[in-house]
C-alpha cells in the first residue's frame, strides 16, 4: 500500500511539473511581452518625478519634507507598486509595522536572494547601500539617486571605511535622514539558510529593525521564476532590536544575535560561512574547488583569527621566502603560533589540525602558505602554483617531483587524497620524473580545464580534510551550489569570534 501511495505521489508530481512547465512556457510567450512593456512604461513614468525632485539637492544635507516632495514620494511609491504588479507581484502581504527613522535608523533585510528583494525599498523609499556605478545607469540611476543611497566606490581604497562612517553619520542623526535598508549577508543565496552577517549595519550601535522576506510561491522557493507567472511577496517587520552595551561594543555579537532572531522567524538554520566564502567557492580559477573542500573551513578560521593580510601579495611573498628557507622542516603547534605571531588558541588548533595529515602533531608550513594563497586570491591559480613551485622546487634544477605536485594540488583543492599521475605524465612528456613551473604554466595555458580533465579525487568518508575540526553548531555543509549568485553591497570584513558566539549561546 505504501509503495502504491509513493508511486501515485510521484506520478502526481511528474504531471504537476509538466503542467507548470507548459504553463510557464505559454505565459512567457504570450503574457511576458505585455508585462515587460508595462513595467518599462511605469519606470519611464517615474523618471521625471525623481529627476525634478533630485535637481539641486545637496547629497550631504537632508532637506525638509515639503509638500511637493511628499507628493513626489507618494507618486513614486504608487508608480513602483503598479510596476511590480505588472511584473506579476499581485499580492503583497506586509506583516508587522515599519518603525519610524527615530526608532530604528537601520533596517536589516534577509535573506537576500534576487533583485525582487528591492520591493521593500520601493515600498518605503528607504536608502540603501549600492555601488557608485549604479547611479550612471540610464533612467534607473535617477530613481536610485532619489532615495539617497550610500554609494560604495570600488576604485577608492578607503571606500569601505567611508561607507561605514556615512552609515554612522546618518544612523546617529536622530531620525533626520531616511532609514537605511541593508542586506547584511552581502550577497545573494538560495534562501535555505542565513550566512554570516557583515558588521556594517551594526557598527553604528543604534537600534535596528529586522525585516524577513518570504516568497510563499513553491516555484519561487525552488528557483523557478518567469514574468509570465504570478508571485506572492510577504515582508515581515519584526520588533525593533535595541543593542545591549555589550553588543554596542561588539558589532559581531550584535550581528550574530540579530541573525539568530531572523533565522528563527524564517524557520531556517544559520551557517558560519560568509560572502567571502561564496567568492571562494565560485572563483573562476583553473582549480575549481570541489564540494567537500576543507578550504572553506580554513577560510572561516583565517578570517576569525584576523590572519587574512591586507597587502596580500607582499605577505605571501614573505611567507613563501621564509617557507623556502625552512626546506620542508615541520612545525609543532607552538612553533606554528610563533611563525604566525599569534597566541595559541582553540581556533589556531583547528587550523593546525587541518594540515596535521599524519596526526603526528607536526605540519608543513608550505601547505599553510598554499592554502592561504588560494583563499586570498582564489581566481589566480597560476600565481598560487608559482608560489608553491618556488617553495618546493630543488635548488639545482628548479623542479619538483610527482609526490610534491600531489601535495601542492591536494592542498590547493583542500582534499584528503588526489591522484595526479595522469597530469604529471601529460606534462612530463620527456619522462624526466620532474616538472618545472615553466612546463606547468605552458601546459595550463594550453589546457585551461586541466583540473577537470586530469585530476581525480577520492575523499569517501573523509569529508575532504585530513583532520576535520569540530563543526560549528547549526552550521550547514557548504556546497558550490550554496551561492548561486552574489551582488556585493558593503564589503566590510567579518570579525565574528568564537567567544561572541559562546556568549550568545
Grid cell in block for residue 48: 521625471
- Res. 90: pLDDT tops 50: yes
Give the residue ranges of DSSP H helices in 356-436: 365-376, 381-392, 402-413, 421-427
Which whole number is the average pLDDT over 207-227?
Answer: 70
- Provide the pLDDT for residue 350: 93
How many Cβ atoms sit within 10 Å of the Cβ of residue 375?
26
For the chain, domains (ranges, CATH) are 28-276 (3.40.1130), 287-479 (no CATH)
Mean pLDDT of 309-326: 90
The C-alpha angle with vertex 23 and arms to 21 and 28, in degrees rounded to 5, equals 95
Distance between CA 276 and CA 375 in Å, rounded?
A: 9
Burial (Cβ within 10 Å: 0-12, 13-18, ≥19) of residue 440: buried
Q: What is the dihedral of CA 95, 190, 241, 119, to 10 degrees?
A: -50
| Residue 437 exposure: Cα atoms within 13 Å on the Cβ side | 16
User: Which tens digit of pLDDT belongs to each residue from 376-390?
Assistant: 998 888 999 999 999
More confident residue, 56 or 266: 266
CB of 347 closer than 8 Å to CB of 379: no
- β-strands 180-182, 127-131 pairing: parallel
What is the model's pLDDT at position 79?
93
Residue bearing the bigger pLDDT, 169 or 217: 169
| pLDDT at residue 487 is higher than 80 | no
pLDDT of residue 222 exceeding 70 = no
Average pLDDT over residues 129-152: 85
**pLDDT above 80 (res 41):** yes
Q: What is the pLDDT of residue 370?
A: 95
Q: Which residue, chain included where needed, has cell 606547468?
A: 440
- Mean pLDDT over 388-417 rounds to 91
- What average pLDDT is seen over the chain? 81
Span 87-107, average pLDDT = 90
With a cut of 90, say whether residue 260 has pLDDT above it.
yes
pLDDT of residue 491: 36
In this predicted structure, the answer to whether residue 340 has a pLDDT above a threshold of 70 is: yes
* pTM given for the model: 0.67
pLDDT tens-digit readout, 448-458: 888 888 887 65
Amino acid at each position: 500500500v505504501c509503495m502504491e501511495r509513493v508511486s501515485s505521489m510521484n506520478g502526481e508530481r511528474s504531471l504537476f511539473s509538466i503542467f507548470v512547465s507548459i504553463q510557464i512556457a505559454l505565459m512567457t510567450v504570450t503574457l511576458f511581452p505585455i508585462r515587460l512593456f508595462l513595467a518599462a512604461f511605469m519606470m519611464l513614468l517615474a523618471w521625471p518625478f525623481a529627476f525634478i525632485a533630485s535637481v539641486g539637492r545637496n547629497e550631504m544635507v537632508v532637506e525638509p519634507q515639503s509638500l511637493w516632495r511628499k507628493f513626489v514620494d507618494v507618486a513614486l511609491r504608487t508608480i513602483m507598486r503598479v510596476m511590480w504588479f505588472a511584473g506579476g507581484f499581485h499580492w503583497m502581504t506586509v506583516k508587522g509595522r515599519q518603525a519610524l527613522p527615530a526608532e530604528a535608523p537601520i533596517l536589516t533585510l534577509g535573506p537576500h536572494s534576487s533583485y525582487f528583494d528591492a520591493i521593500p525599498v520601493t515600498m518605503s523609499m528607504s536608502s540603501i547601500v549600492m555601488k557608485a556605478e549604479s547611479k550612471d545607469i540610464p533612467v534607473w540611476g535617477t530613481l536610485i539617486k532619489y532615495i539617497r543611497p550610500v554609494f560604495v566606490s570600488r576604485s577608492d581604497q578607503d571606500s569601505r571605511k567611508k561607507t561605514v562612517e556615512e552609515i554612522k553619520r546618518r544612523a546617529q542623526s536622530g531620525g533626520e535622514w531616511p532609514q537605511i535598508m541593508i542586506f547584511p549577508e552581502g550577497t545573494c543565496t538560495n534562501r535555505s539558510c542565513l550566512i554570516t552577517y557583515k558588521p556594517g549595519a551594526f557598527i553604528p550601535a543604534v537600534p535596528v529593525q529586522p525585516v524577513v522576506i518570504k516568497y510563499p510561491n513553491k516555484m519561487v522557493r525552488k528557483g523557478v521564476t518567469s514574468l509570465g507567472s504570478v508571485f506572492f511577496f510577504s515582508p515581515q517587520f519584526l520588533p525593533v532590536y535595541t543593542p545591549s552595551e555589550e553588543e554596542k561594543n561588539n558589532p559581531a555579537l550584535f550581528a550574530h544575535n540579530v541573525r539568530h532572531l531572523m533565522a528563527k522567524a524564517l524557520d531556517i538554520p544559520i551557517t558560519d560561512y560568509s560572502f567571502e566564502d561564496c567568492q571562494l567557492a565560485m572563483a573562476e580559477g583553473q582549480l575549481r574547488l570541489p564540494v567537500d573542500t576543507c578550504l572553506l573551513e580554513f577560510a572561516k578560521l583565517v578570517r576569525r583569527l584576523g590572519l587574512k593580510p591586507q597587502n596580500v601579495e607582499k605577505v605571501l611573498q614573505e611567507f613563501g621566502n621564509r617557507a623556502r628557507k625552512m626546506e620542508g622542516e615541520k612545525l609543532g603547534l607552538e612553533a606554528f603560533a610563533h611563525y604566525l605571531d599569534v597566541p595559541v588558541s582553540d581556533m589556531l588548533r583547528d587550523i593546525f589540525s587541518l594540515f596535521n595529515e599524519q596526526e603526528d602533531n607536526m605540519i608543513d608550513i608550505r601547505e599553510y602558505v598554499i592554502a592561504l594563497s588560494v583563499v586570498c586570491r582564489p581566481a589566480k591559480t597560476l600565481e598560487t602554483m608559482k608560489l608553491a613551485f618556488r617553495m618546493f622546487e630543488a635548488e639545482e634544477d628548479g623542479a619538483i617531483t610527482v609526490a610534491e605536485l600531489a601535495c601542492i594540488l591536494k592542498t590547493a583543492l583542500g582534499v584528503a587524497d588526489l591522484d595526479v599521475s595522469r597530469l604529471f605524465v601529460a606534462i612530463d612528456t620527456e619522462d624526466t620524473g620532474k616538472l618545472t613551473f615553466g612546463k606547468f604554466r605552458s601546459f595550463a595555458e594550453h589546457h585551461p580545464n586541466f583540473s577537470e580533465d586530469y585530476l581525480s579525487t577520492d575523499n569517501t568518508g573523509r569529508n575532504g580534510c585530513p583532520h576535520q575540526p569540530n563543526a560549528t553548531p547549526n552550521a550547514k555543509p557548504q556546497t558550490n551550489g550554496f551561492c548561486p549568485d552574489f551582488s556585493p553591497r558593503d564589503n566590510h570584513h567579518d570579525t565574528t569570534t568564537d567567544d561572541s558566539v559562546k556568549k550568545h549561546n
